[in-house]
Copies of this chain bind each other. A is one copy, B any other.
Amino acid sequence: MKAWEIRDTFGLENLKLADRPEMQPGPGQVLVRVRAVSLNYRDLMVSKGWYNPKQKLPLVPCSDGAGEVVAIGEGVKSVKPGDRVMSCFFQRWQNGELSDVEARSTLGSPADGMLREFAVLEEFGVIPTPSFLTDVEASTLPCAALTAWQALVTLGKIKAGDTVLVQGTGGVSIFALQFAVKSGARVIATSSSDEKLQRAIELGASDGINYKTTPNWEKRVRELTGGIGVDHVVEVGGAGTLSKSVIAVRRSGTVSLIGVLSGPGDFNPLPILMNGTRVQGIFVGSRSMFADMNRAIELHKIHPVVSDVFAFDQSPDAFQLMERGGHFGKICITI
């Protein structure tokens, strides 16, 4: 079978198409024919060696995929060949709090990921695909959607009438927008592009702020909320953005820290203290949260926003688009 792998040393230039032997599922495992994969910024970081420099190579990248079960191992009861499934980011985090053992069970690093024709996954490391979604759409859920869900719903306990700030128009932010709207919340979106803000508004955002033309966007957020600030910020930047987010959030509000695109930097923790802010780190989510999310997606027929779809043999182009940025929603690959 064919698989893309980072070979020898890190770097997108070392992403190579390989032939790998066929696999069979062991006890408690399933063999999945992968039909679609989606990219996350983490996949780019992994490939460049920024995520875990000790990662062993070769490595098949990409945590997120969707496809069809083609064989099951001994003792597997919850799925059968023919079932459409998605991969779970953590192969072993079923529910409750994440343990150290479970934390090491992530696809796309340290374990081989989904950018290949077939993958052997744990029985409870896959989850049924909502029937109305295509495989491409489904492939976007395991990491980006679930991160947004855990942030706003599981830990954020979002409620009707709340206001949410989403930053930019990457995968997690757009899912956060969609989940917030379906939860009855108001959404304020930021972007460097008025065109993208317009699309966010079409998806249900009430307001858009162009952070290029309004660099003090945290003040604009307070204005838009009657001076109070938003209930939740879905924070995807780094120390710099975080410094603004803790101003944009209301007293006793929550900043969900889900990405660190802009890295470390100078930070003053004082506003966190003075405003009783909760800064909550979010690391994807458990299979149980995934099931809750799928129930909402199914009920509301929420379609993920897919920005671009690449063919399997053009996979490196997908990584390059991720690196360049400019997409709106998710970048996918069909297999």
B281 near A273 with CB under 8 A, answer yes
B186 near A184 with CB under 8 A, answer no
A182-B153 contact in complex given A252-B98, A258-B273, C-beta closer than 8 Å: no
Contacts of A186 in B (CB 8 A): 299
Contacts of A274 in B (CB 8 A): 281, 283
Contacts of A263 in B (CB 8 A): 268
In this complex, which of A160, A186, A270 has the most chain B Cβ atoms within 10 angstroms of its Cβ?
Answer: A160
Binary contact track A95-119/B, C-beta < 8 Å → 1, others 0? 1111110010000000000000000
Cα separation A98 to B45 with both chains bound (whole Å): 37
Kindly identify which residue among B179, B239, B273 contacts A259, using a CB–CB cutoff of 8 Å: B273
Contacts of A300 in B (CB 8 A): 160-161, 184
B257 near A273 with CB under 8 A, answer yes
Kindly identify which residue among B99, B160, B251, B270 contacts A99, using a CB–CB cutoff of 8 Å: B251
In this complex, which of A161, A273, A276, A296 has the most chain B Cβ atoms within 10 angstroms of its Cβ?
Answer: A161
Kindly identify which residue among B260, B269, B298 contacts A242, using a CB–CB cutoff of 8 Å: B269
Q: Is A325 an interface residue (CB 8 A)?
A: no
Contacts of A239 in B (CB 8 A): 266-269
B161 near A96 with CB under 8 A, answer no
Q: Is A286 an interface residue (CB 8 A)?
A: yes
Cα separation A158 to B259 with both chains bound (whole Å): 27
* Selected A-B contacts with CB under 8 Å, 11 pairs: A94-B95, A98-B251, A98-B276, A153-B160, A161-B293, A184-B296, A239-B266, A260-B269, A264-B266, A276-B281, A278-B278
